[in-house]
Amino acid sequence: MKTLDRVLSKMGLGSRTEARSWIGEGRVRVNGKVVRTPDAWVNLERDKVSFDGKPLQAAQPVYVLLYKPKGYVTTYKDPDGRPTVYDLLTGLAAFVGTVGRLDLDTSGLLLLTNDHALADRMTSPEYHVEKEYLLKASLLLTEEQLDEMRQSSAGVKKVERVRDSEKYSHVRVVLTEGKNRQVRKMVEDVGAIVLKLVRVRIGPLVIGDLPIGKYRLLTVKEVQQLKVLTKLDADQQSKRKLRLHQGNRALLGRSSRRKRP
């Protein structure tokens, strides 16, 4: 069960804001009746939803990797008029949602997709998807401070010194469970501030030669790696086998009934 606006968004038609507008305009029908309530509950296994008179169909899956620059917000539209990551997706026809977020002052990798099953698993702490960050701290951090950062949360997998300059420490942080501004708070809790923060890796995905402010589509191999990492591929195969098994049982049942004298 999902709300009607979320159903439209998850089908890849547009953002939830756009979906709520379309629903209010009477362009969406559920089981033949116009529904103008975005929060109406819908069961796609039972209900028939149409948009502009056409049955709702899932969009072709699209997987995008963006190198977000500093100064962009991770939202579709910003009420304060700040640039958003969607301003950088020129030439991309399909609507894709962000998988997690990066704050305004953080740059680095951002995954976007209309495959919501994968997106949900990529952001779930259950699957321990690693996110790697490189940061520049406002002072030279001691080993005691680094150790305090390591002990700050169960979702912190690694904190290691990359190098020290004359005044600053450069540190690598790997998280398997991210919370809002977590890396910045970890540094602030040991008495420093983050001067620069870049997310350089999401699971097996790395920046490579992707220019800042640009995006690329994931390869088939990369998509498969993410599905294996989040156990989505195995679960989908199990569901297909279950449906096949149930279908075979139904066929056998009909066959045995026909054979009865």
Identify any residues that bridge with 34 across adjacent strands, giving them in sequence order. 29
C-alpha dihedral, 24 to 28 to 31 to 37, nearest 10°? -20
Q: What is the rounded radius of gyration, in angstroms, for the C-alpha atoms of the chain?
A: 23
Query: Cβ distance 95 to 61 under 8 Å?
Result: no
Kind of pairing between the strands at 215-217 and 131-137? unpaired
Residues acting as catalytic residues: 103
The DSSP line for 165-219 is: -SS-EEEEEEESS--TTHHHHHHHTTT--EEEEEEEEETTEE-TTPPTT-EEEPP
Distance CA 153, CA 137 (A): 19
Q: How far is 99 from 65, CA to CA, in rounded Å?
A: 10
Go through 190-212 and write b for each residue having 16 or more CB atoms within 10 A of its CB, e for each that does not: bebebeebbbbbbbebebeeeee
Cα separation, 177 vs 83, in Å, equals: 27
